[in-house]
Amino acid sequence: LRGGGTVVLHEYCYGLGLPNPEKPFPPIWSHRGRPGTAYHRIAGHENAATLIWYRTFPEQSLYRGTQGVGRICLDFWPVKKPDRDGWASLYNRYPHSSCAQRRPSLEKLTWAGPDGARTTVRFEAFCEGIQDAEAAIVLSDAVANHADKLGEELTRQCRTVLIDRLNYCRFWDQMKWAHSYFHMHHWDWQELDRRLYDCASRVGKKLGKQLSHGKRSVGFMAPPTSHR
């Protein structure tokens, strides 16, 4: 920055709408280096956000033009207050300290087990969402930069899947305050995932090592297996 300062972390909390599917698809394969991550602040996050939020937010963050998800916690479990009764948040337990509005609303994706963190359904949904986002990156990169090698039919199918997934994120309510749902919703989300990974697998076979991000080649053979 001017004067010698450095931006360590830049987050967007408000004003990041999802793009219009009738306009050119956002270049989600090239967000590395863009300033900012997406932060969704929700009161009572762990009780209010549905599983579909955890499943779609990694992908949504890319569609919103950021590098990904920011300011969420894996294992910020409650801790005993020093020399006081009761419990406090991990980041607010010190005397005369508070991060106020900067506090993360999602404090933990895991449970505290006897030997460390234990997985939760929310954590599994979030991991699957990251895999979905990676597959969407593969398709968007291929359609934008390698359509001539994919052929007209596969390019059309990949583009249709991407638009359908963008609409999937746009159309469905993902939160209901103070409720948690253990079913995603009934808009055939499993079939949409099957189409996503089927196209990604076919793209990988067509392009091989031509399609890579950074120094790591990307390929997909099958959708993640859900344990829910």
Q: Rounded to the nearest 10 degrees, what angle do helices 121-145 and 51-63 cross at?
A: 30
78 has pLDDT over 70: yes
- The tokens of 122 are what? 């929310």
**pLDDT band at 227; cut points 50, 70, 90:** very low
Q: For the chain, what percent of residues have pLDDT higher than 90?
A: 33
Which 3 state secondary structure label does DSSP give 138?
A: helix
Coil, strand or helix at 174? coil
Read off the pLDDT of each residue in 178-192 and give the average, rounded to a whole number: 63
Report pLDDT for 73: 86
Residue 196 has pLDDT above 80, yes or no: yes
Instruction: Specify the residue for token string 């409720």.
Output: 179
Mean pLDDT, residues 12-16 taken together: 61
Under 8 Å between Cβ of 52 and 182: no
Q: How far apart are CA 219 and CA 146, in angstroms?
A: 15
Work out the mean pLDDT of the chain and round it to a whole number: 78
d(CA 49, CA 87): 23
Kindly state the average pLDDT of the residues 178-187: 52
* Cα–Cα dist 54/184, whole Å: 10
- Binned at pLDDT 50, 70 and 90, residue 160 comes out as very high
**Structure pTM?**
0.78
pLDDT score of 139 more than 70: yes
Q: What is residue 214's predicted lDDT score, i.e. its pLDDT?
A: 40
Average pLDDT over residues 189-217: 80
Q: Residue 38 forms beta bridges with which residues?
A: 12, 69
What is the per-residue pLDDT for 220?
Answer: 37
Q: Which two tokens mark 203?
A: 């793209």
pLDDT at residue 120 tops 60: yes
- Minimal CA–CA distance to 189: which of 59, 84, 69, 89? 59
SS3 content of the chain, % helix, strand, coil (to 5): 45, 10, 45
What are residue 49's DSSP bridge partners?
A: 175
Q: State the virtual CA torsion across 56, 8, 71, 197 in degrees, nearest 10.
A: 20
pLDDT for 218: 38
Measure CA 62 to chain center. Answer: 8
Q: pLDDT class for 203, splitting at 50, 70, 90? A: very high
DSSP letter for 62, please.
H
Query: Per-residue pLDDT averaged across 58-72, rounded?
Result: 85
**Rounded to 5°, angle at Cα 42 from 41 and 48:** 155
Higher pLDDT, 33 or 223: 33
* Per-residue pLDDT, 151: 95
